[in-house]
Amino acid sequence: MKLKVNGTEHEVDVEEDMPLLWVLRDELGITGPKYGCGIAQCGACTVHLDGVATKSCQVWAVDAVGVEVTTIEGLGTPEALHAVQAAWVEHQVAQCGYCQSGQIMLAASLLSDSPSPTDDEIDDAMSANLCRCGTYPRIRAAVKSAAAKLQEA
């Protein structure tokens, strides 16, 4: 089947029900999305499907055909950071950093839906993902700062 990831078409030969996460990681070598739970609890695997934050451990490979898949690698790069990534750097959010790819993808999706979210909206949306290090205070600050930057732009 054909998958379009970060703008590039890939031909993959996998079971229809292989989770997109494992197609990305083990078949395509795209390791920004992380495995944490496999049951939609932690959100470390969050990617965008046609721009919408989605837990890639819950998406069958076959259901990603014909959809624009964007991973953290496609959101921005160290040389050209997305506004959310720039805010994550500015606020030094990461500790172990393992959940942050998913947190950033979730925040980017939130801000494209809701450019100036309230504190409660940020908490509601970002509660889909889990951070074991406890970086939540800095996630809140970084989302607000990214929202402000995106508004200016």
Partner 1 sequence: MGRLKTIARRTFLIGSAAVIGGVAFGVYTYRKPAANPLEDGLAQGEAALTPYVKIDADGITLITPRADVGQGAYMVQAALIAEELDVRLDQITADPGVPSAAYYNGTVAAEGFPLAATDDGLIARTGRGAADVAGKLLGLQLTGGSSTVPDAFEKLRVAGAVARATLLQAASAETSVPVDQLSTKDGAVVLPDESSLAYTALATTAAGIEPVQEVALKDPSEWRYIGKEMQRLDIVAKSTGTQEYGIDLQMDGMVHATVKCNPRIGGEMISYDATEAEAMRGVKRVVPITGGVGVLADNTWRAFQAAEAVTFEWGEAPYPADDAAMWEQVAASFTADHQDSRFKDEGDVDAMEVAVEAEYRIPHLAHAPLEPMTATVLLDGGRLDIWTGTQIPRFMQVNAAKLAGLDAAQVHVHVLVSGGSFGRRLEDDYVLQAVELAMAEPGVPIKLTWSREEDMAHDFPRPLQMARARGAVSGGQVTGFDLGIAAPSVAASQLGRLGQPAMGPDVAIVAGAWDQPYRIPDYRVTGYRVPPMVPISSWRSVGASGNGFLHEGFLDELIHAAGADPLDERLRLCWHEPSRRVLEAVGEMSNWGDALPEGRGRGLAFTLSFGVPTAEVVEVTATERGIRLDQVYVACEVGRVIDPVNFDNQVKGGVIWGLGHAMMSEVTFSDGMTEQLNYDGYPGMRIYQTPEIEVRALETDALRGIGEPSVPPAAPALANAIFAATGQRIRELPLNKSVDFI
Residues that bind partner 1 (CB under 8 A): 14-15, 18-19, 21-22, 25-27, 29, 31-39, 41-42, 44, 71-73, 76-78, 81, 85, 88-89, 92-101, 104, 122-124, 126-127, 130-140
Cα–Cα distances in angstroms (integers) from residue 116 to residues 69, 74, 78, 90, in the given order: 25, 23, 25, 19
Q: How far is the CB of 68 from partner 1 (least distance, A)?
A: 17
What is the Cα 121 distance to its own chain's centre?
Answer: 18
Nearer to partner 1, 113 or 119 (CB): 119
Q: How far is the CB of 92 from partner 1 (least distance, A)?
A: 5
What is the Cα 73 distance to its own chain's centre?
Answer: 9
Point out which residues pair with 53 in neighbouring strands. 48
Nearer to partner 1, 37 or 52 (CB): 37
